[in-house]
Amino acid sequence: MKKVIQIPTIKDDDIGYEHLLQVAGNIFEDPYNYFDFDFSRCAMLDHSAVVMLGALARYVDYHNSQMKVSKAMFFKREHADIAGVMFLVSSMNSAVRERLIGNNFLSHFSSGTLEGYPTGGYLGYREHNYLLDADKIADHLQNEWLSAAKLRLSDKLKPAITSRILEIFSNAYGHGVSIQDMKTMGVYSCGQFKKNERSLNISVLDFGPGIIKNVKSVYGEMPSLDAMHWALVKGNSTRTDSRHADIPRGLGLDLLHNFVHVNGGELRIYSNDVKVISSKTSGLKVEANAADLRGTLVSIKINCDDRYYSFTSESKPKQQQYF
């Protein structure tokens, strides 16, 4: 059976994330189908939408590959029909199409040749397999995403921010990929630099059990908001500080939380039925989310202004911002 999924305009804002989770919910309901992703009503897609659409395509691929194996075994056939996702490039406007080419997204899903795919280091869509290559990810974050041309950070602060973002990947692997049923699915990310807004973004997504379910699996039933508050506590960030070897690690986001407040950026987390929004204007908000995400999505926005950022303990050149 074929289903057409209308992809709306999805920006990096509250409404955009609501649309995004609605699209994900449509796929989660029944992934054993052919899906056509139609972009005729989509004016633009931000990084969070790109990473989600790519991961959903792999989610459908995984479930239907399992169905293919089951059918082949049942009918004793070597081949069985499977479903999947088709991105209708012809339905995209030029802005959407150019973005999905420029961030290397379509190269992962197109058998044809489209000009303009970036090579080497680039900010865009990436699929990380189910084994964590920490050195490769750290190099990409520090030298390509947080390049000096985009943001001025001290020699101490830059690796500290890199390590906190790397911990997001580590959490996605350690308490997402490694314990999920879908063993062949990895972690998905998408970086983006908006030149007109001078903002730097990255989204990291996994379809593991999710933060809330992980915490509850160890501590038992509790309100979902309490489970998320536990995960956000500084110090709940390693397995060794817990009485159980497999305790869900906290998110270790204290430095990122402080930095986006000083910088005027934003940090978002969507996991299971809870969302977290952290910014200078909103403060830290932990709220129930109407849509249930089967996994965890973390999105970070940093403003690329002319200020120089460092720790308060460092020397103090002019035009410096401390925290």
Average pLDDT, the chain: 83
pLDDT tens digits, one per residue of 282-316: 999 999 998 999 999 999 999 999 899 999 888 66
pLDDT tens digits, one per residue of 209-231: 899 998 898 888 999 999 999 88
Above 80 in pLDDT, residue 242? no
Distance CA(46)–CA(136), nearest Å, equals 24
Q: Looking at residue 184, what is its pLDDT?
A: 63
Confidence at 116, pLDDT banded by 50, 70, 90? low
Q: What is the DSSP string of 34-76?
A: EEEEE-TT-S-B-HHHHHHHHHHHHHHHHHHHHHHHHHHHHHT
Distance CA(281)–CA(130), nearest Å, equals 37
> Token digits for 155?
């020699």
Q: Which residues of 86-99 are buried (b: 16+ CB within 10 A; e: fewer)?
A: ebebebbeeebbeb
pLDDT tens digits, one per residue of 247-294: 444 566 788 989 999 999 999 999 999 999 999 999 999 999 989 999
258 vs 73: which has the higher pLDDT: 258
Q: Looking at residue 136, what is its pLDDT?
A: 86
Q: Residue 277's beta-bridge partner residues?
A: 268, 285
pLDDT tens digits, one per residue of 75-113: 343 433 446 899 999 999 999 999 999 999 999 987 665
Other beta carbons within 10 Å of 189: 29
200 vs 254: which has the higher pLDDT: 200
Percentage of the chain lying above the pLDDT 70 cut:
78
The pTM of this model reads 0.86
Domains contained in the chain, CATH given = 1-111 (3.30.750), 124-323 (3.30.565.10)
Q: What is the DSSP string of 209-221?
A: S-HHHHHHHHH-S
Above 60 in pLDDT, residue 2? yes
pLDDT tens digits, one per residue of 11-57: 999 999 999 999 999 999 989 889 999 999 999 999 999 999 999 99
> Token digits for 233?
């506590």
For the four alpha carbons of 136, 87, 46 and 10, in that order, the dihedral sign comes to: negative
Q: Residue 204's beta-bridge partner residues?
A: 189, 298
